[in-house]
Amino acid sequence: MIREKMSCDAASFFKADKSDVMKTVNTISAICAVIGLALLLAALAIGMVVTQMITRPIAALTAVINGISELTVAGHINAKTQLTADARQKRLWN
């Protein structure tokens, strides 16, 4: 008889309204969703920048190669590339 009175389950110690508990859970879920969305957008932005950094030189090289194949190299080389090529030419001949 004494044992029955002393045995208590956890539910009798912790009583809370379900809406109070779910309010906290919903708040944490919303914060996690916003943080996840922000991280996803940041990852996409970083991916786009890295992709541009990788593909820009490849596109320029492709344009030069296409120009060489069509024998119209001068039209596809920009000023920076031309200056670099001129500097190499001077080193080769000097």
Q: Which residues, other chains included, contact 65 with Cβ-Cβ below 8 Å and sequence gap of 6+?
A: none
pLDDT of residue 73: 57
Average pLDDT score over residue span 50-62 = 89
Give residue 32's pLDDT band: very low, low, confident or very high (50, 70, 90).
very high
Is this prediction's pTM over 0.85? no
Question: Is 11 a domain residue?
Answer: no
Per the listing, tokens 């708040």 go with: 27
DSSP string for residues in the chain = -HHHHH---HHHH----HHHHHHHHHHHHHHHHHHHHHHHHHHHHHHHHHHHHHHHHHHHHHHHHHHHHTT-HHHH--HHHHHHHHHHHHHHH-
Q: Is 4 part of any domain? A: no
pLDDT higher at 67 or 33? 33
Structural domain that includes position 44:
18-93
- Look at the chain and report how many structural domains it folds into: 1
Instruction: Please state the length of the chain.
Output: 94
Domain-embedded: residue 58: yes
pLDDT of the residue at 65:
84
